[in-house]
């Protein structure tokens, strides 16, 4: 088991490296430097800023520094650090140590990791509430639909899950906002302090964010219960005279929850990364809003930092799935 975890964690490294590589490459392609402003900035100021953030160094490999160190030190292994004294190399080396660099928007007074530390708890709370919603509504809806197949309950659960599964969250979110403001006359939230700690303001965005996951859980639970319902051991259980309650709780539900639990890993990651659209719709000051803002202002260090952070979360979510497979199903654990 421990070997399995280690292997999975090591497999994350190429993915994260690729994400960093692609993001960095893309950011280099984008037009306009990070210090381009509406009004003209003196070239000497830009040169100073570039130097301060190490943007005057080569983008990928610093061969000049390599040959420089090679001639002064002579040891090619020590000189290798010079080769990676480039924008990308330094970024990676710092990122591994948890330093994602200063945000360009703040002109270097704030670091990306500070921003993440400040805004991620809000996104995490939002994600936790929506996961709770998705589980508490999705499971019962799917189970009810399958146990009463082709009745009004089933159709209701099918309709809800098809809508939640297919309609993008920003559409349902905006429609909810519209209904809230036109029908119930709820004013949009302006005071940012309501997002510190749990509060009722989290409920509307959390429901919308959890809608897709809820629908997915409903669909999966329904098909899984339907599958288990037809198994021979259920017929055996009924044949030996067990009551409905015992058959459903002990035999059907236990077995049908296995495939559902395994999607929770990506569901959590999806809720966290999917949150940025919902956050900007409902004006939640989480990491997603920060990311959207960074796209607008072309704050490349913030975009890179949060992309890496999001990718790490997704990768951890994927590891959780594989682990949960092993924990739940002994056949997989032992293979």
Partner 1 sequence: MATASNVAGKSPAQAQEFTRPVRSLWSDAWLRLRRNRLAMASIVYLFLLALVAIFAPVIAPHSPSRPTSTELRERGTYRQAAWIVDEKNPKRSGVWKFPLGTDSAGGDVLSRLIYGTRVSMVVGFIPMIFTLTIGITIGLVSGFAGGKLDSLLMRFTDIVFSLPDILFFIIVQTAFSQTAFGKTFNGLLLIFLSFSAVNWASVARLVRGQVLSLKEKEFVEAAEAIGVRRGSILFRHILPNTLAPIIVAGAFIVPSAIVTEATLSFLGIGIQPDTNPNNPFPTSWGQMILEGKSAIDSQPWILIASAIAIASITIAFVALGDGLRDALDPRQ
Nearer to partner 1 (CB atom), residue 252 or residue 315: 315
Structure tokens at 309: 């952070």
Question: Tokens 């021979």 sit at which residue?
Answer: 232
* Window of 81-89, 139-147, 289-297, 326-334 that interacts with partner 1 by CB under 8 A: 289-297
CA distance 250 to 248: 6
Size of the site for partner 1 (CB under 8 A): 45
Q: Backbone phi, then psi, for 126, in 5-degree steps?
A: -60, -45
Residue 26, token pair as written in the block: 């893309």
Give the residues across from 111 on adjacent strands: 102
CB of residue 82 to partner 1, shortest distance in Å: 29
Q: Which stretch binds partner 1 (CB under 8 A): 128-136, 176-184, 189-197, 243-251?
A: 176-184
CB of 77 to partner 1, least distance (A): 29
Measure the CA–CA gap between 141 and 165, rounded to whole angstroms. 14
Among positions 111-170, residues that touch partner 1 (CB under 8 A) are 162-163, 165-168, 170
The two three-digit tokens of residue 289, written as one number: 């809003």
Q: Is residue 8 a contact partner of residue 319, using CB atoms and an 8 Å limit? A: yes
Q: Which stretch binds partner 1 (CB under 8 A): 7-15, 84-92, 142-150, 323-331?
A: 7-15
Q: CB–CB of 122/276 below 8 Å?
A: no
Which 302-321 positions form the footprint of partner 1 (CB under 8 A)? 303, 307, 310-311, 314-315, 318
Which region, judged by CB under 8 A, interacts with partner 1, from 40-48, 73-81, 194-202, 296-304? Answer: 296-304
Shortest Cβ 294–partner 1 spacing (Å): 9
Q: Helix, strand, or coil here: 196? A: coil
Among residues 1, 37, 182, 240, the one that binds partner 1 under rule CB under 8 A: 182
Q: Does 231 sit near partner 1 (CB under 8 A)?
A: no
Does residue 115 contact residue 92 with C-beta atoms inside 8 Å? Answer: no
How far lies 86's CA from each of 20, 61, 167, in Å?
Answer: 14, 5, 44
DSSP percent split of the chain into helix, strand, coil, nearest 5: 75, 0, 25
Among 1, 10, 31, 109, binds partner 1 (CB under 8 A): 31
Q: Would you mind telling me the total number of residues written for the chain in this entry?
A: 335
Residue (23 or 113) nearer to partner 1, CB: 23
Question: Are 204 and 282 within 8 A, CB to CB?
Answer: yes
* Contact set with partner 1 (CB under 8 A): 11, 14-15, 18-19, 22-23, 26-27, 29-31, 162-163, 165-168, 170-172, 174-175, 177-178, 181-182, 223, 269, 273-274, 277, 280-281, 292, 295-296, 298, 303, 307, 310-311, 314-315, 318
């Amino acid at each position: 088991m421990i070997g399995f975890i280690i292997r999975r964690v090591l497999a994350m490294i190429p993915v994260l490296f690729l994400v960093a590589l692609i993001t960095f490459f893309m950011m280099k392609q984008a037009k306009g430097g990070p210090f381009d402003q509406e009004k003209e900035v003196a070239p000497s100021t830009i040169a100073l800023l570039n130097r301060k953030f190490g943007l005057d160094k080569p983008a990928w490999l610093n061969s000049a520094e390599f040959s420089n160190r090679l001639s002064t030190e002579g040891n090619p292994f020590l000189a290798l650090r010079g080769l990676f004294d480039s924008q990308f190399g330094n970024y990676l080396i710092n990122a591994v140590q948890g330093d994602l660099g200063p945000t360009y928007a703040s002109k270097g007074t704030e670091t990306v990791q500070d921003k993440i530390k400040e805004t991620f708890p809000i996104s995490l709370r939002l994600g936790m509430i929506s996961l709770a919603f998705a589980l508490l509504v999705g499971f019962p809806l799917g189970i009810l639909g399958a146990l009463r197949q082709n009745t009004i309950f089933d159709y209701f659960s099918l309709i809800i899950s098809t809508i939640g599964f297919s309609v993008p969250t920003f559409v349902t979110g905006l429609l909810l906002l519209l209904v809230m403001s036109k029908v119930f006359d709820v004013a949009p939230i302006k005071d940012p302090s309501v997002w510190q700690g749990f509060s009722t303001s989290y409920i509307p965005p959390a429901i919308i964010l959890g809608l897709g996951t809820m629908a997915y859980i409903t669909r999966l639970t329904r098909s899984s219960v339907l599958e288990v319902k037809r198994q021979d051991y259920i017929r055996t259980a009924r044949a030996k005279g067990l009551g409905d309650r015992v058959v459903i709780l002990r035999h059907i539900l236990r077995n049908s929850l296995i495939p559902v639990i395994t999607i929770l890993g990506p569901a959590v990651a999806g809720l966290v990364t999917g949150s940025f659209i919902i956050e900007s719709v409902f004006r939640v000051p989480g990491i997603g809003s920060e990311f959207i803002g960074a796209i607008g202002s072309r704050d490349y260090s913030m975009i890179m930092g949060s992309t890496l952070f999001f990718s790490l979360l997704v990768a951890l979510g994927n590891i959780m799935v594989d682990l949960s497979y092993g924990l739940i199903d002994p056949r997989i654990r032992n293979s």
